[in-house]
Every structure is written in structure tokens, then in C-alpha cells.
Amino acid sequence: MNQNMLKPVLPWWRVPMVWLVIAGPAVVVAASIATFVIALRGGDSPVREAAAPQAETMTPATLARNHAAAARR
């Protein structure tokens, strides 16, 4: 007789590899639901116009950046 015929067949929920295969997608689904809930409850508030930097205050930085990025002749 063949040795494989004598082994009892385990039900699918007793095989550890099955739980590894199920756990991966289950964790991803749970994380996506948690991310969705966080996005719905804790949305950022829009930035006010007064809080945005004005163009005049950025002029020295813009000049320095353009000077550093310019090609040498």
C-alpha cells in the first residue's frame, strides 16, 4: 500500500498555509478600511490665503535658486 493513502486528510482550516494566504489580503482590506475612516473623520482644513507666503517674500530665494541653477558660460 502507498504511504499517502494511510495519512488522514486535514480539513482546510487546519492547514497553516491556508491562513497565511487568507491573512495577507485580510490585512490589506482592514488597513484600507482604517485609512478610509481616517480620511473621512480627520480631513485637513484648507489653507487660508493670509497664511500662504507672498511673492515678494520669496524674491531672494527665487533669485538664489535661479542663480544656482543657471548654466555657466
Tens digit of pLDDT for each residue in 7-62? 778 898 899 999 999 999 999 999 999 999 988 888 777 666 665 556 566 666 66
Q: Which residues contact 12 (CB under 8 A, 6 or more apart)?
A: 18
The answer, yes or no, to whether residue 63 has pLDDT greater than 70, is no
CA distance 16 to 13: 8
Model pLDDT, residue 51: 54
Model pLDDT, residue 69: 59
Model pLDDT, residue 8: 79
